[in-house]
């Protein structure tokens, strides 16, 4: 039953992110409470691994979010105008915490790593295709959440 609930939550987040490039707090905050409760009450991963997983996911991606903010500011100064899109939104930080709560510690490390590698591979293929078609433009945003969720599914199931 908990697998179906977690899958439903992650699919909802993925669809919204694909359509709008947003991970909504109105979805992720209650989902965090539900997923966290499921993990804490479950014998595996249990309370400690669930909470550590959520914290590690949040802190790791928060660091990437802050690096992305610094990069965007630096590029904006160099270009003389602000970037219209950001590399990581705070919704991605919340999603990483949800993934950590769902897969626990140390699964969160593998889930995030797989998700980031999948996003990087997709981006590389996309870049090659766009360069070959002579339609490349810098700083084209892609929704990152579905890749993180892909990594979470691989670890969770």
| Interatomic CA distance for residues 65 and 155, integer angstroms | 23
Distances, alpha carbon 155 to alpha carbons 68, 124, 126, 130, in Å: 26, 23, 25, 31
Counted domains in the chain: 1
Q: Over the stretch 28-62, which tens digit does the pLDDT of each residue have?
A: 999 999 999 999 998 888 999 999 999 999 999 99
DSSP code of residue 84:
S
Kindly report the average pLDDT of the chain as a whole number: 93
Q: Over the stretch 74-122, which tens digit does the pLDDT of each residue have?
A: 888 888 887 777 777 899 999 999 999 999 999 999 999 999 999 999 9
Q: List the domain range (segments joined by +) for residue 43.
A: 2-156
Q: Over the stretch 56-77, which tens digit does the pLDDT of each residue have?
A: 999 999 999 999 888 888 888 8
């Amino acid at each position: 039953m908990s697998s179906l609930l977690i899958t439903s939550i992650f699919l909802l987040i993925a669809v919204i992110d694909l359509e709008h490039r947003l991970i909504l707090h109105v979805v992720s905050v209650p989902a965090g409470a539900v997923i966290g409760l499921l993990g804490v009450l479950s014998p595996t991963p249990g309370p400690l691994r669930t909470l550590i997983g959520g914290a590690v996911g949040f802190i790791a991606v928060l660091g990437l979010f802050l690096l992305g903010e610094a990069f965007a500011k630096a590029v904006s100064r160099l270009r003389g105008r602000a970037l219209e899109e950001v590399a990581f939104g705070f919704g991605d930080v919340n999603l990483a915490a949800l993934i950590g709560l769902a897969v626990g510690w140390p699964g969160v490390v593998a889930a995030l790593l797989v998700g980031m590698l999948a996003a990087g591979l997709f981006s590389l293929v996309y870049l090659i295709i766009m360069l070959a078609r002579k339609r490349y433009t810098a700083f084209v945003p892609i929704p990152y959440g579905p890749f993180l969720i892909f990594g979470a599914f691989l670890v969770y199931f």
